[in-house]
Amino acid sequence: MADRYPFILTGGAQELEFPLSACYRDYVARIEARPAVREAERREALSEASSSQL
């Protein structure tokens, strides 16, 4: 299971144009590169797509 907090923090920081350290960006990139995380994101996208069709 992926911890969504780093993704939420990164998205909010980008929206507010708040600079994040290179170490933090690298950390999030390593999490995103994990096969299980990519699969969870794919399933979430499918779930959201099917929900929007209701």
Q: Report pLDDT for 6.
A: 85
Task: Give the separation between CA 28 and CA 34, rounded to whole angstroms.
Answer: 10
Kindly list the distances between the CA atom of residue 39 and the CA atoms of 7, 14, 26, 48, in Å, as whole numbers in the listed order.
15, 24, 20, 14
Task: Give the separation between CA 54 and CA 47, rounded to whole angstroms.
Answer: 11
Residues 6+ apart with CB under 8 A from 43: none
Q: Report pLDDT for 51.
A: 76
Q: Report pLDDT for 5.
A: 84
Strands (E), 1-54: none
Tens of pLDDT, residues 1-54: 557 788 888 889 989 999 999 999 999 899 889 999 899 889 988 887 877 766
